[in-house]
Every structure is written in structure tokens, then in C-alpha cells.
Amino acid sequence: MAGGRVYSSGTGGNSGSNLSVLFQNQKGACASEPLDSLFLSGSSPSFLGSRSMVSFADVRGGNGSNRPFYRAYDHDDNGDEDLEDYLHQPEKKRRLSADQVQFLEKSFEVENKLEPDRKVQLAKELGLQPRQVAIWFQNRRARWKTKQMEKEYEVLQDSYNSLKTDYENLLKEKDKLKAQVVLLQDKLLLREKERGISELSDTNKLSQEPLQKPVVESVSEGEVSKVSIVACKQEDMSSARSDIFDSDSPHYTDGVHSSLLDPGDSSNVFEPDQSDLSQDEVDNLNLGKSLSPAYIFPKLEDIDYSDPSENSCNFGFPADDHAFWSWSY
């Protein structure tokens, strides 16, 4: 015996409880053995006929009437010789009958731990040894635990897959936005070059016409750099540089400008209202008139788009604005 343990051999007697009556009624459905009919009397316990393996000491030490009934005994064409052989063969494991298992399962559902009294009671009801009942519960708990772990694993797996999908979608969205940024930067560079050429010719003209109006004033007050100011109102203006709104083009409507200011675009983040502007911002607005717009708009190359929380210029969004970064798909 394990670890010097001493296990009670059990009685296998009938308690005569209601549970026994229940399973006696089901006995017809249970695989009834010829051996049962041989050894079972009318007053025998309901499960005694299918009694499983008992301890060797119990079996071998007892007389013939104490021999267990082996339900697993294959009796298709058994004669007396087979019976003899069977009774003399070494003890083997016996599976519990369907009824016994059902009984134990129901008991397990009620309580998966086995109190000593309950163990003895169940053993009596089932015609098993208390030790066998204990072993069955122990193994049943192990199976239950395994099942639970499998369920938990599935839940975690589903959660992981969901997160992975979200992550991949976000990556795609990020790539899309990056491509947009590159496109816009190209357009800006192009316009910058055009403006450089234009200013060069303006300078030449200016030297000949000193009374010409300042370039900035050609931009209407309602439109000038409102967007750029708000976009960067929380930022260090020293890093700003923009000439998106060319003084020569107050109604700048190329792809860049229109995409940023299109009121119909729900994703448009540049929809500031002048009434929302603080005095500082208004000052900046005025400053923007007198200074070059290049001081107002940030240099796109300086913006890090990889991590929204680290943007030096987040276009008016707080860095922790998760709503912006976790739009649905």
C-alpha cells in the first residue's frame, strides 16, 4: 500500500437507502451478468452484482463467498471451464458499471469533495470499497481540473486572437496614415519650391516698387492660419514652420488644404472656431499676420507619427486621447 497507508476494505453491504431503490429500478438497463444471477440474492445491494475490484488481501484472504463479482467478465460463450479460469486468473482492474458511474457523477455534482461519512455511505450504496470511491473522486477531480484548464485556455486564446486582430488593423491604419503623410510632405515641398521662385521674382519687383502692399495682408483675417494656430497651440512655436498658406493663395484648395478643412469629413480634426481662441491665440494669429506663417505651422519632418503619445505636435489632440487612436473598424 502507498506510503504505508492502511485502507479499509469496506463491507459492500446494502444500506437499504432510497438511492439503492433508485438504482435497483435501473438495474434492468444495466449490463447484468450471469455471475450476478449466480451470486446475487434478492436482498443483495443494487451494485453489489457489479462490484469492482477489491483489495487483493480482501479477495484472497476470504472464502469463496467473499469473491467479488466481475462485471467485466466476458461471458459470451462461457462455460464452467471459462468460469473456472476466470476465477483463478490474477486480479485485474474492473471498470465501474454505467449505473455506478452515473451515481458517482451525480454525487460529484453535488459536492466534489468527499467527507468520510459520505464516502462510506456511497461505498455502501454502490457496493464498492470506500477506497474505490475515494479514488474515483480523486480521479474525477483531476479530470475536472483538466477540463477547466482547457476552458480557460480557450478563453485566453479567443482573447488573444481578438487583440491580435485589433493590433493588425491598427498597423494597417498606421501605414495608411504614414503614406498620407508622405504624400502631403511631397506636396508641401513642391509648393515650397514654387514659392521660392515666386518670392525671388517678387524681391526683384520689390526693389523696383517699394510701395507694394505686404504679402501677408493678402490673406483674409477669417482664414489665415486659424487652423495652423489651433493645431499647434499647445506646442513650442519655435519648432513651427509652415508656409502652407501662401500669402499669394488665401483660398488654398489643393489636396492638403481641402482635406484638412473639409467640414464634411468626419475625420477632420481641424475644425476650430475662432470663438474658442484664447487671447494668446488671437495674439498669435496677429503675430502670424505680421510674421511669416512659417513660424506657425510645424515642420512635418519633425513630427513623429510612430507613437501618438510622443507626438511633438498632435494636431490639437491630447496625447492621451484614446478615442482618436482607437477608432473602430
Position among 22, 101, 181, 287 found at the interface with DNA (CB under 7 A): 101
- Measured distance CA(312)–CA(166) in Å, rounded: 26
Half-sphere exposure of residue 235: CA atoms within 13 angstroms, side-chain side: 27
- Does position 297 interact with DNA (CB under 7 A)? The reply is no
CB of 150 to DNA, least distance (A): 11
CA dihedral 133, 139, 143, 144 (to 10 degrees): 50
Residue 149 contacts DNA per CB under 7 A: no
251 near DNA, rule: CB under 7 A? no
5 binds DNA (CB under 7 A): yes
Among 80, 88, 92, 213, binds DNA (CB under 7 A): 92
Residue 52 interacting with DNA (CB under 7 A) = yes
Widest CA span of the chain, in angstroms?
133
Q: Does 113 bind DNA (CB under 7 A)?
A: yes
CA triple 64-45-69, angle to 5 deg: 35
SS3 content of the chain, % helix, strand, coil (to 5): 60, 0, 40
Binding residue for DNA, selected from 143, 178, 193, 205, defined by CB under 7 A: 143
Q: What is the DSSP secondary structure assignment for residue 113, as one 8-state letter?
A: S
Give the number of other CB atoms < 10 A from CB of residue 243. 18
Single residue of 42, 116, 222, 263 touching DNA by CB under 7 A: 116
Residues that contact DNA, how many (by CB under 7 A): 30
User: Cβ of residue 71: shortest distance to DNA, in angstroms?
Assistant: 8
d(CA 305, CA 181): 9
**Among 77-85, 135-143, 177-185, 191-199, the segment contacting DNA (CB under 7 A):** 135-143
Chain residues binding DNA by CB under 7 A are 1-6, 52-53, 55, 72, 92-96, 101, 113-114, 116, 131-132, 134-136, 138-139, 141-143, 145
